[in-house]
Structure 1
Amino acid sequence: MINTIWLRSFCTLVDVGHFTRTAEQLHMTQSGVSQHVRKLEQQLGQDLLLRQGKQFTLTDAGERLYREAQTIIESLSSLEQRIGEDPAFEGMIRVMSPGSVGLKLYPHLLELQRQHPKLVIDYRFAPNSDVESAIAGHDVDIGFMTRTSTLAEVSCRPIARETLLLVTPAAVSEPDWERLMALGFIDHPDGAHHAGLLLRANYPEFQHSKMFEKKGFSNQISLILEPVSMGLGFTVLPAHAVGAFPKPDLVRTHRLSNPVSETLYLGVQLRKPLPNRVKTVIAEAEKWL
């Protein structure tokens, strides 16, 4: 591999055209400049200069090396600046969250990208366990979870709270226990967990979600309320998921006497400094959650 210090000395010599002035510009001795050129010639096995006293001209090999080396030297000169750059509105940001949070947050992050096209949002919907693993494995920059992490590699802090809502068909005005039992439950990946939190706090009869007849299941956050809207059962969902449902007139949300909400946690890699673009997205998320 060619020594870049030798290359820089050679290119400067060609630009300046004089050994003494080159040495002064590079804060070297004249013999040091000559030595760098000779080492290049030895490594390449070709003469680079035709020396004529204190003057010189480039050989064909010298001209070819100069043309190639200029690009290398210019790239190296700007490398430190490029590495030191940390723009707030450029680059890829990988985000992962459960579905309800994503339904709320993703449109706002896309709007941020529309305002700053060099900022690229990569958003994945996933359950808490997958989000946690992705943060620990450096597969995402930011993760949102509805529980704190148990992994040492993940740093978590509470960022917001999200209310859990009982959702029934629109015709149900009073969701008493008998009515819920008659309706049956529309399940989803977090259905048992969410039902346990909300219904246990409001219905003394509740023991577990399996008490209800299962009337359906969907793992697509945007589709869980479809069967509810058709009168096929009830469910319990976070507020952001309910708010994103496109047919709100066909369902009814019930805020029960004992409200229950989940804490939303922001997770990042514990020892990884946050680039400015990630800080930008976190600030935008805090604005909307």
Structure 2
Amino acid sequence: MVNPQWLKSFATLADLGNFTRTADRLGLTQAAVSQHVRHLEQVYGPLLIRRPRAIELTPAGVALLEYCAEVSKADERLRCRLSDADAANGEVSLITPGSIGLFLYPLLLDFQQAHRGVVVRHGFAPDHEVLDTVLQNRYELGIVSLKPDDARLAATPFIEEALELVAPANEEVHTWEDLVRIGFIDHPDGQAMANRLLSRRFPGNPGARNLPCHGFSNQIGLLLEPVARGLGFTVIPRFAREGCARASLVKVVDCGPAVVDTLWLIHRAEWPPSPRATAMIADLRQRIHAACG
């Protein structure tokens, strides 16, 4: 690779047209500038036509000057990418579980609309995949429901999410027998969530596995569809309900004291989030506060 200092000397000389002024600009001796040009000419052939009061570039010199401009631009792009100093432009990536993702995605789009130079990349995944993708630098930020114990990850509380018993709007739920009559719409975390919540509302109940199962979906964004159609009830996080279009056709059953999970924002501990990511998280916190009161 050509010595960058040689290229800098040549580009400055082409701009100023004089060896003495070039040496002064670069803080070098005139002999050093001449030597840099000779090194380049040994590689690329004649680059300059030296005249008493000016210099003229040969075709090879013009080509090399264009190359110098390309190198300068590439160097600037690299510096910007490595420093990640531009908070107004570039990509920011976040991966989350489905429930909080349904709630956050419209807020992420609000942020992108307000910051047109930023590209938001959002993914849905269960906790273990969120951890893996952040550790492998495929996403800069992640949200998980359990605080990780991996020293490579930094974790801060992001938001609290309550579990809810969601039933068809026309159903009344007062006893365990009502749940048996309505039936359960299950999902991958359904029985675990139901047991945690229903133990508060119906102490001594025989457990969610003993409820008639009236359906199952591994897409949390679709769970309210069978509930809205009167096919059963489910237990899901609050943000999953708020992110569903069918929310008006279902109702939340009062189960007493809330069962709440803390969701954790994670990123690689070895380096801080980019300015874009920091701005996006601050914006999300403000929007969540406004939405949730």
Going from structure 1 to structure 2, the CA distance change for 1:16 and 1:97 (only over 3 Å counts) comes to closer
TM, length-normalised to structure 2:
0.88
2:21 alignment counterpart = 21
Structure 1 runs (4+) deviating above 6 angstroms are none
Distance 2:77 2:246 in 1: 55
Going from structure 1 to structure 2, the CA distance change for 1:87 and 1:166 (only over 3 Å counts) comes to same
2:252 alignment counterpart = 253
* DSSP-derived class of the 1:160 partner: strand
1:11 alignment counterpart = 11
Displacement of 1:199: 0.9
- 1:96-136 Cα offsets, whole Å, 9 max, x none, are 11121112111111011112111111111111111121111
Matched AA of 1:4 = P
How well do the aligned residues superpose, as a CA RMSD in angstroms? 2.4
- 1:51-79 Cα offsets, whole Å, 9 max, x none, are 46686544443344334434434665786
- 8 Å contact kept, 1:94–1:141: yes
Going from structure 1 to structure 2, the CA distance change for 1:161 and 1:60 (only over 3 Å counts) comes to closer
Displacement of 1:276: 0.9
Moved more, 272-281 or 47-56: 47-56
Do residues 178 (structure 1) and 172 (structure 2) align? no
1:271 alignment counterpart = 270
Moved more, 228-237 or 8-17: 8-17
Matched AA of 2:102 = L
Gaps of 5+ in 1: none
* DSSP-derived class of the 2:170 partner: coil
Going from structure 1 to structure 2, the CA distance change for 1:101 and 1:6 (only over 3 Å counts) comes to same
- 8 Å contact kept, 1:8–1:73: no
Going from structure 1 to structure 2, the CA distance change for 1:153 and 1:48 (only over 3 Å counts) comes to same
Distance 1:115 1:96 in 2: 21
1:30 alignment counterpart = 30
The alignment-based identity, stated in percent, is 38
Aligned ranges for residues 133-282 of structure 1 at < 5 Å? 133-282=132-281
Distance 1:255 1:125 in 2: 29
Distance 2:266 2:167 in 1: 33
Gaps of 5+ in 2: none
TM, length-normalised to structure 1:
0.89
Distance 1:93 1:57 in 2: 47
- 8 Å contact kept, 2:153–2:268: yes
Distance 2:70 2:270 in 1: 36
- 8 Å contact kept, 2:155–2:265: yes
